[in-house]
Structure 1
Amino acid sequence: MEIIYYGHACFGYKTSSSQVIIDPFISGNELAKDIDINQIKADYIFLTHAHFDHILDVETIAKNNDATILANAEIASHYEKLGFKVISMNIGGVKKFDFGRVKMVAAVHSSSFPDGSYGGLACGFLMKMDGKVIYHAGDTALTMDMKLLPYVYGYIHVAVLPIGNNYTMGVYDAVAASKFVNTRNTIASHYDTFPAIRVNKDKAQHLFLSEEKHLTFLPIGGTVDVNTFV
C-alpha cells in the first residue's frame, strides 16, 4: 500500500482495491503546481473539515472520478445537495470498506466553509488499510484523546501529523502526539504552504530523533510504501 503526498495536508492512499484522497487542496497551492488534479484517481474523498485549504479541489476530483465523499454530517449534506455521492459520519463512527475499516476520530480545530457557514466538527481518521494501521490526524491541537487510539486497531504503523504550528500543533506537540499514539513513524503534514506555517525541517527531524522517533518529509508528488514502516 502506498501513501502519496499532494502538498499541504493532502494525501492519497492507494490500497490493493481502492484509492482514497484526503483533503484535496492542490490547484491553489503554488508548491504543488506540478500536480495535475485531472490526472488524480480516487474512489473516495475523505474530508477532515471544511476549511478552503482542505476542500478546494473536492468537486473537480469527485466529478472526474465519480468518487464518493466521506465527511461529517454537515459537510456530507453540503455535497449531497450539490449532487455528489456521500457517506455521512460523525466522531466515533466506523465504516467498513473492501480495504479495511475507517474510524472517524476527534480533532481539536475549527471548521467552516469559505462562505462562513458551519462545517461541523473537525475530525481525523484512524484507518486500517490492507492490514496496516494509519492515523491521519487532520488539523488538530495535541489532545489526550490520542492516547486511546492504539487500543482500537493495535499498533499504529505511521501517523500523519500536522507540524506547522499557528493553526495546528507544532513540532514539539507533534513529538508528544507520536508518543501518545505510540508510533515510531510520523509523516509531516500542514507545513510550509503559507508563511505562518513554515518549519525548520532539520530541527524538526532532530527533535523526533532525540525521542527515538522518525519524521518523514515526503516531497510533493512523492510516495512511500507503508510496508517500510515497522
Structure 2
Amino acid sequence: MKVTWLGHACFVLEGSKTVVIDPFLVGNPLAPVKPGDLKADVVLVTHGHGDHLGDAVEIARNNDCPVVAIHELSRILSSKGVEAVGMNIGGTAKVSGVSVTMVKAFHSADVEEDGGIISAGDPAGFVVEMDGVRVYHCGDTDVFMDMQLIGELYSPDVMLVPIGGWYTMGIREAVKAVELVKPKYVVPMHYNTFPVIETDPEEFKKAVEERVEGVEVKILRPGESLEVQ
C-alpha cells in the first residue's frame, strides 16, 4: 500500500483500491493537489468539521463513489446527492472492497449548514484494511487509554496521528498514543496548516524514538508517500 499525505489530516491510501480520508484541499494552504485531481473508490470522513469534511462531496461526485461517515453525518451527506454509507463506533463495513472499522475519537463534531451549526453525530477514527495492510487514522482526538485496545484488536501497521495541539493532542499526548497502539510506522498529521497548530515534527520523532521501541516515525511533506508491504 502507498500512503500519501496531502496536508492537514488528508491521506490517500492506494493499493487494489484507492481510499481518500478527510479531503480538506480547498482552503488548505499546504495541499499540493485540487479535488479534481483525485481518483477514489471510497472517501472516509472522520467528522463534519470543515477541515475534515472538506471536499468529500465533490470528490465523491467526480468519482461516483461512496462516502463513509458516522450515521448522522451520512444522512446529511445523502441529502447532497452522494452515496453515503453510515456506520457507528465499533462497527466494520466492507465498502468498495475495502474493510473499514470505525473507532473512538475524543473531539467535537458538527456541521455548518445553511449558515447555522447542526449536530452531526460523534467524531471517529478509522482502521482501514486493504491488501493485508492496516492503517489507523486517529481522526481529531486526544489520547485515551482505549487506544491500547485498538492496538491489540487491529494491530495497525501504520498510525496517522495528530500532533498540532490546540484542537487535538500535541506532541506529549501523541507520543503516549503511539506507546499505547505500537504500530510499525507512525506518520504525524494535523500540524503546521495554520499558525495556531504550528509544531516541530522532528521533536515528535525524537520523543517517539526515545520512548517507544520498534516504531519508525515517517515525517512526510505534503505530497510525499510511505510504501508499506
* Structure 1 and Structure 2 fold alike (TM over 0.5): yes
Could you say which residue in structure 1 is the equivalent of 2:160? 160
Change in CA separation of 1:56 and 1:100 when aligned onto 2, cut-off 3 Å: closer
Q: Matched residues in 2 for 1:134 and 1:168: separation? A: 19
CA contact (8 A) 1:141 1:169 kept: yes
Could you say which residue in structure 1 is the equivalent of 2:18? 19
Change in CA separation of 1:86 and 1:216 when aligned onto 2, cut-off 3 Å: same
Shift of 1:99: 4.7
Shift of 1:221: 1.2
Shift of 1:4: 1.2
Could you say which residue in structure 2 is the equivalent of 1:225? 227
> 1:9 aligned to 2:4?
no
Shift of 1:86: 1.2
> 1:135 aligned to 2:136?
yes
Task: Kindly provide the amino acid, as one letter, of the partner of residue 34 in structure 2.
Answer: D
1:69 to 46, 67, 70: 67
In structure 2, list runs of 5 or more residues that go unmatched.
none
Shift of 1:101: 2.0
CA contact (8 A) 2:42 2:95 kept: no
Could you say which residue in structure 2 is the equivalent of 1:43? 41
Q: Matched residues in 2 for 1:19 and 1:103: separation? A: 16
Shift of 1:97: 4.4
Task: Kindly provide the amino acid, as one letter, of the partner of residue 29 in structure 2.
Answer: E
1:40-96 residue CA offsets vs partner (Å, 9 max, x unmatched): 001111010000101121121111111201000111000111111011101111112
Task: Quote the sequence identity (%).
Answer: 37
> 1:94 aligned to 2:92?
yes
Residue 30 of structure 1 aligns to a residue whose secondary structure is: coil
In structure 1, list runs of 5 or more residues that go unmatched.
none
CA contact (8 A) 2:127 2:135 kept: yes
> How many pairs were matched up?
224
CA contact (8 A) 2:162 2:188 kept: yes
CA contact (8 A) 1:15 1:99 kept: no
CA contact (8 A) 1:100 1:131 kept: no
Change in CA separation of 1:97 and 1:79 when aligned onto 2, cut-off 3 Å: closer
Residue 102 of structure 2 aligns to a residue whose secondary structure is: strand
Could you say which residue in structure 2 is the equivalent of 1:52? 50
CA contact (8 A) 1:99 1:130 kept: no
Greater shift in the superposed pair: 210-219 or 128-137: 210-219
Q: Matched residues in 2 for 1:92 and 1:215: separation? A: 27
Could you say which residue in structure 2 is the equivalent of 1:175? 175
Q: Matched residues in 2 for 1:141 and 1:107: separation? A: 7
Residue 31 of structure 1 aligns to a residue whose secondary structure is: coil
Greater shift in the superposed pair: 178-187 or 161-170: 178-187
TM-score, structure 1 normalization: 0.93
Shift of 1:23: 0.6
Could you say which residue in structure 1 is the equivalent of 2:30? 31
User: Please, what is the CA RMSD of the aligned residues?
Assistant: 1.4
Task: Kindly provide the amino acid, as one letter, of the partner of residue 125 in structure 2.
Answer: G
Task: Kindly provide the amino acid, as one letter, of the partner of residue 195 in structure 2.
Answer: P
Q: Matched residues in 2 for 1:179 and 1:204: separation? A: 12
Q: Matched residues in 2 for 1:96 and 1:109: separation? A: 26
Residue 51 of structure 2 aligns to a residue whose secondary structure is: helix
